[in-house]
Structure 1
Amino acid sequence: MVVLAKAELEQIALPAAQPPMADVRAVDLSAAPGPDRAAAARTLVAACEEQGFFRVTGHGVPQELVRAVEAAAAGFFALPQAEKEGATGEPVGYGCKQIGDGGDLGWIEYLLLCLTSAGTKIRIHTYVVVSLLPKTIPDFAHRLAYVRRELLEEYAAAVRRVACGLLELMAEGLGIEPADTISRLVADAESDNMLRVNHYPPAPRPEQQAGRLLTGFGEHTDPQIISVLRSNGTTGLEIAGRDGAWASVPPDADSFFINVGDALQVLTNGRFRSVKHRVVVSSERSRVSMIFLGGPPPGARLAPLPQLLGDGGGRSRYREFTWMEYKSCSHRGRLVDDRLRPFEN
């Protein structure tokens, strides 16, 4: 249960507003090679240029797997608060209301899990999953931890395949060769991939009666290359257009939603925009979202791809830097900060 003091509630309260529904482009990842796949690649590139956000169909992730992971997440967040707070680690584990180190607050509790690649399989750090189990549970907890880990591994691997498939389709649409130029940054054995599970409890009744909304997760862009998001069909996610106006993302029970991240904006020299987004809480229904955050290896050097600078060696908008350098810098600021500014030429 998220509990905030009155001053904290005031900090995250928002005026009641009803933004228009966003027109979110759909990209069919199952399109067959030929005209259909070429059309899907064009749609993907246009969506990344215009919004930095789209939804993907034909992704191949079984609905039964998605539902099982959602149920496991809901079960964890339903545990007593003391038991959830025991699932802490550094830098992963359980968190409540505090987002990052910059002082941002939200009507949220979450799990942050580190993923490590092993060949074609993704492994959840064992100690993280075991730590999610209350210490009062007897030895069968270790068997339960194993089951949960297997479930999370299967889901994480499936969603990473979606991310890599999209990045390869993206390379086709941009005319970049080889096709895995971008996707291999997410598929590498050292890739900095994370799985974030967010829970936004129903808005507290006094705030609903006052006609206000609450910030669940404040305005921000994702630092990574690509984010693959799935929610339990509840509204609340909003994206900002180029004019700064907010639009509400319609819930979708079957699709995954994709965010262009800061690192991808750099790789495309600003051609693709890292979308600003936030979560607003107004519903009487809990919102659970699961986000695969695909990042490059810590030592990977990021800079605009030469293929996108033109034959004449066009101007690079960003200086070269490592992912770890950028990640360290971004963690020191507030959510709303423009984290790419220090790396601009």
Structure 2
Amino acid sequence: MMMSCQAWPEPVVRVQALAESGLSSIPSRYIKPRSQRPTTTNTNTNTTSVAYPQVSQTEDDHSDVNINIPVIDLQSLSSGEDIALQEETLQRVAEACREWGFFQVVNHGVSHELMRNARELWREFFDQPYELKEEYANSPNTYEGYGSRLGVSKGAILDWSDYFFLHYMPPSLRNQDKWPTLPLSLRKVISEYGEEVVKLGGRMLELMSRNLGLKEDYLMNAFGGENEIGGCLRVNFYPKCPQPDLTLGLSAHSDPGGMTILLPDDFVSGLQVRKGNHWITVKPLPNAFIINVGDQIQVMSNAIYKSVEHRVIVNSNKDRVSLAFFYNPKSDLLIEPAKELVTKERPALYQPMTYDEYRLYIRMNGPCGKAQVESLTSPIR
């Protein structure tokens, strides 16, 4: 499906350039409505402190500072020895998908050195001169390249972030000419990192399929198979902000794709996950990935697993970098609830739609909570 908009509706301003200009207050186009602003942030530290901004003006904004998303050790699944421990790990994954939609994984099989190199090289990219980065400036047609906004609504309130977006899977969409040439080793590391994260995503789909009572390869096949899945990398750069209480690095949304594998910043926290009426600031563990369920798995699981709203807060003293790998269905496949999960008591909750049709809404409108997936709900008969 072709995009109906080939250009941004207004001149694009790089948020990093704004931050480095020394401004003491942010432009009005980045100031969020009061109901969306963080209310309490510890912006003067690089620790993983917890903040609980309000969900809306009417909802309770207090919470337990010790709450964090589940942490799951995947070691037992690769050892093949302790069957009871494997079953316990599977159960923990299932509970995290049902109750949170988010969890961290450790002992996941991806090289810690590769993770560090990928993050550091991308930070070096964002430190390059602007004229070099502008060679990769993107458009809303594909988002591929160097960008600073989502959605094409003229006059929209924007997020305090820049990013670089690229396609990795299927191989036919992988265009290394659009990948940065500096730092010199970045292209090589992108290839190596993408290969390892794709493998991890495949293992996670197997676990989710088994936990749903489906064949182990069900979700992978529903995504199009190993060689046809859609894999995209979005590297987020959140510049320091003089008024972090007025804006967000990324507005509240659920991920439109199948699953996201996030490599967070190892120094500055920023990701917040909605849990009931609270926003929980995630405390990343060293060498861990953060995995979350996307809208397409919510649809395929007939809402047994649910995508969850999340957002990103910014910091007054520190820039922040994170790598989000989106593990998505092949773009032209029809996505609908698995027939095995549809019963008379629990009919299909969603109308069929291709992923291309689905993400067009996101590209046109930008982050919008869970409005898109909820719009697919079928009337229960």
TM-score of the two chains, using structure 2 as the length reference: 0.78
SS at match of 2:131: helix
Which residue of structure 2 aligns with residue 137 of structure 1?
none
How many residue pairs get aligned? The number is 321
Whether 1:100 and 2:151 are equivalent positions in the alignment is yes
Instruction: Show the counterpart of 1:28.
Output: 73
Asked if the contact 2:224/2:333 (under 8 Å) is kept, the reply is no
Whether contact under 8 Å (1:12, 1:106) holds in the other structure is: no
Q: Distance in 2 between matches of 1:104 and 1:159?
A: 33
Residue 320 of structure 1 aligns with an amino acid whose one-letter code is P
Measure, in 1, the Cα distance between the counterparts of 2:30 and 2:372.
26
Work out which of the residue numbers 263, 288, 293 in structure 2 matches 1:230: 263
Deviations 1:35-80 (A, max 9, x none): 1221111111111111101111111111111111111101110012
Q: 2:176 corresponds to which residue? A: 126
The answer on 1:202 being equivalent to 2:240 is: yes
Q: Aligned with 1:3: secondary structure?
A: helix
Q: AA paired with 1:54?
A: F
| Structure 2 segments unaligned to the other structure (5+ residues) | 1-15, 20-25, 41-50, 53-64
User: Shift of the alpha carbon at 1:89?
Assistant: 4.0
SS of structure 2 residue aligned to 1:155: helix
Once residues 173 and 233 of structure 2 are traced to their aligned partners in structure 1, the CA distance between those partners, rounded to angstroms, is: 11
Determine if the alignment matches structure 1 residue 321 to structure 2 residue 353.
yes
Gap change, CA 1:101 and 1:15, over 3 Å in 2: same
- 1:49 maps to 2:81: no
Question: What code does the residue aligned with 2:151 have?
Answer: G
Look up the equivalent residue of 1:23 and give its one-letter code.
N
- Structure-to-structure mapping, 1:57-76, within 5 angstroms: 57-76=106-125
Amino acid at match of 2:168: L
Of 193, 203, 206 in structure 2, the residue corresponding to residue 165 of structure 1 is 203
- The 1:171–1:200 alpha-carbon spacing in structure 2 relative to 1, beyond 3 Å, is same
Alignment-derived partner of residue 190 in structure 2? 152
Alignment partners' CA distance in 2, 1:313 and 1:9: 46
Displacement of 1:2 after TM fit? 3.9
Change over 3 Å in CA distance of 1:182–1:15 after alignment to 2:
closer
Which segments of 5 or more consecutive residues in structure 1 lack a partner in the other structure?
135-140
**Structure 2: distance between partners of 1:240 and 1:68:** 30
Provide closer, same or farther for how the CA distance between residues 309 and 72 of structure 1 changes in structure 2, counting only shifts above 3 A.
same
SS in 2 for 1:281: coil
- Looking at structure 2, the residues matched to 82 and 11 of structure 1 have their Cα atoms a distance apart, in angstroms, of 30
Specify the alignment match of 2:23 in structure 1.
Answer: none
Quote the sequence identity (%).
27
State the match for 2:56 in structure 1.
Answer: none
C-alpha contact (below 8 Å) 2:110/2:197 kept by paired residues: yes
- 1:16 corresponds to which letter in structure 2? T
CA contact (8 A) 2:238 2:321 kept: yes
Offset at 1:99? 2.1
Looking at structure 1, the residues matched to 160 and 150 of structure 2 have their Cα atoms a distance apart, in angstroms, of 10
1:124–1:152 contact (8 Å) kept in structure 2:
no
Residue 254 (structure 1) aligned to one of 265, 287, 301: 287
Corresponding residue to 1:8 among 29, 38, 44: 29
TM-score of the aligned structures, taking structure 1 as reference length: 0.86
Q: Cα gap change, 1:37/1:268 in structure 2, threshold over 3 Å: closer, same or farther?
A: same
Provide the residue aligned with 1:39 in structure 2.
Answer: 88
In 2: Cα distance, 1:123 partner to 1:298 partner: 11
1:304 and 1:318, CA in 2 relative to 1: closer, same or farther beyond 3 A?
same
* Structure with the largest fraction of strand: 1
